[in-house]
């Protein structure tokens, strides 16, 4: 899987917001919570689980060490959105760097 551009995306254009069910850090660590690989930490009181009816296409953005997009997180507005680092051509896969914490 992956996310591919349907049309040209300009440098600094917003690709989309990461959406999903909002949970707290306590809920995240609940052993009864089902596992999800689609988790985005905005802040400890606002963690997005990108599965289910509240999720969108941005959950399919894969990792690359040389990404063409980056994540802009606002703990004030409790949002996470992807922005293009450079022009992305139609049909090109969209990547961002998951960061070192992801691999630990």
The structural domains of the chain, ordered by start, are: 3-99 (2.170.270.10)
Cα separations (Å) of 49 from 28, 63, 65? 9, 18, 24
Distance of CA 34 to the CA centre of its chain: 19
DSSP label of 9? B
pLDDT in tens, 7-64: 999 999 999 999 999 999 999 999 999 998 898 888 878 889 999 999 999 999 999 9
CA dist., res. 86 & res. 67, Å (int): 9
Please report which confidence band the pLDDT of residue 71 belongs to, taking 50, 70 and 90 as the band edges. very high
């Amino acid at each position: 899987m992956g996310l591919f551009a349907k049309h040209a995306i300009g440098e600094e254009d917003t690709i989309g917001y990461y959406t999903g069910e909002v949970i707290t850090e306590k809920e995240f660590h609940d052993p009864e919570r089902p596992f999800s690989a689609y988790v985005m930490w905005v802040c400890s009181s606002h963690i997005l689980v990108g599965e289910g009816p509240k999720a969108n296409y941005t959950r399919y953005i894969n990792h690359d060490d040389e990404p063409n997009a980056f994540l802009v997180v606002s703990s004030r507005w409790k949002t996470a959105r992807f922005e293009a680092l450079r022009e992305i051509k139609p049909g090109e896969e969209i990547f961002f760097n998951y960061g070192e914490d992801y691999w630990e």
